Amino acid sequence: MSSAHPPPSATQTLPQLLITPGFADYRLVDCGEGRKLERFGRLLVDRPEPQAMGSRRQPAAWDKADAVFLGMNAEDEGSDGRWKFAGRPVETFPVSYRGVSFHGRFTPFRHLGFFPEQAPHWDFMIERLQALGRPARVLNLFGYTGVASLLAARHGAQVTHVDASKKSIGYARENQALAGLADAPIRWIVDDAMKFTAREQRRNSRYDAILLDPPKYGRGPNGEVWDLFRDLPAMLDLCRGVLTDKPAFVIVTAYAIRASFVAVHELTREILGGLGGEIASGELVVSEEGSGRLLSTSLYSRWSTA
């Protein structure tokens, strides 16, 4: 990682909670005792959540779950579990956000093909892309099933979407078709995020905005090993190297790590703070329907122009 960055001059906002109260196709119904109960459209889903340490407030509601995830420790992202369905098993279900339709998906890793708590990031991204007044180039690293890429493209951006999983890219293309964005300017790339970004830097390819949503651990398509604590500094440094002269934002989100948001904030401030602007950091949280109780899901740091 380069140590030649100018001293930080960006203003700081921390801690900041970005709260998702839910939207038409999503609600947090209840949580507690290491699990969360969520409604996705008409489906009620019970799955592990290690940060749900309180008590359940609607015990009877849990008995009505349409799908329950079993057989895996919620902290273990590398092991398969299984879904138990109250009725006929389903693989996907429809979800829509701000006019973009996509699939929710029952995976072997308790995840559902998208992360609803990212909605504040999606809203921020759309607002900033619209404010630019010109087509932006957006780089979405560790882009998963492409919801953020589709939302960016729908609002005029040219998107480069990178993920190491060929299966995830396949799901993203399915979402693109479902969203009616088959002709949108999106490049879907199966590659190791660090190697791809390093090549973009050498090619002098530049982006106005970057979304960076890495796992705690992961593997690239050719066996490359990703470790967030070891590799995030170099990854963020590469991201700085592919920004345009007048970039709009960089959003970093970190899931399932035993760390404070302060660590991610200070790293972002060290590498991007010399660009001026503002850095806001904190946690993504979901607000429980009815009670307003908050459930933390992840850490984030967001640099943007003032």
Q: Residue 70: give its domain's CATH number.
A: 2.60.40.1180
Q: Considering only CA atoms, give the Rg of the chain.
A: 19
Nearest Cα neighbor of 119 from 92, 141, 151, 143 is 151
Q: Are residues 202 and 292 located together in one domain of the fold?
A: yes
Q: Which residues pair with 212 in a beta bridge?
A: 141, 252
Rounded alpha-carbon distances, angstroms, from residue 261 to 10, 215, 264, 296: 17, 15, 5, 12
Q: Which residues pair with 30 in a beta bridge?
A: 37
Q: Are residues 75 and 147 located together in one domain of the fold?
A: no
Domain presence at residue 2 = no
Q: Are residues 230 and 178 located together in one domain of the fold?
A: yes
Domain interval for residue 67: 26-105
**Looking at 142-277, which runs of residues are DSSP E strands?**
158-163, 186-190, 209-212, 217-219, 225-227, 249-255
Q: Are residues 182 and 58 located together in one domain of the fold?
A: no
Q: Are residues 125 and 265 located together in one domain of the fold?
A: yes
| Cα separation, 137 vs 272, whole angstroms | 18
Domain presence at residue 4 = no
pLDDT (0 to 100) of residue 78: 47
Domain presence at residue 5 = no
Q: Are residues 126 and 99 located together in one domain of the fold?
A: no
Q: Are residues 143 and 189 located together in one domain of the fold?
A: yes
Tally of domains in the chain: 2
pLDDT (0 to 100) of residue 62: 98
Q: Is the bond into 15 cis (omega within 30 degrees of 0)?
A: yes
Cβ contact 121:149 at 8 Å: no
Last residue in a domain, options 81, 105, 129: 105
Taking only the tens of pLDDT, the chain with its 306 residues reads 555 788 999 999 999 999 999 999 999 999 999 999 999 999 999 999 999 999 999 999 999 999 999 975 544 444 568 999 999 999 999 999 999 999 999 999 899 999 999 999 999 999 999 999 899 999 999 999 999 999 999 999 999 999 999 999 999 999 999 999 999 999 999 999 999 999 999 999 999 999 999 988 888 888 888 899 999 999 999 999 999 999 999 999 998 677 789 999 999 999 999 999 999 999 999 999 999 999 999 999 999 996
pLDDT (0 to 100) of residue 73: 56
Model confidence, pTM:
0.94
pLDDT (0 to 100) of residue 109: 87
| Cα separation, 269 vs 23, whole angstroms | 32
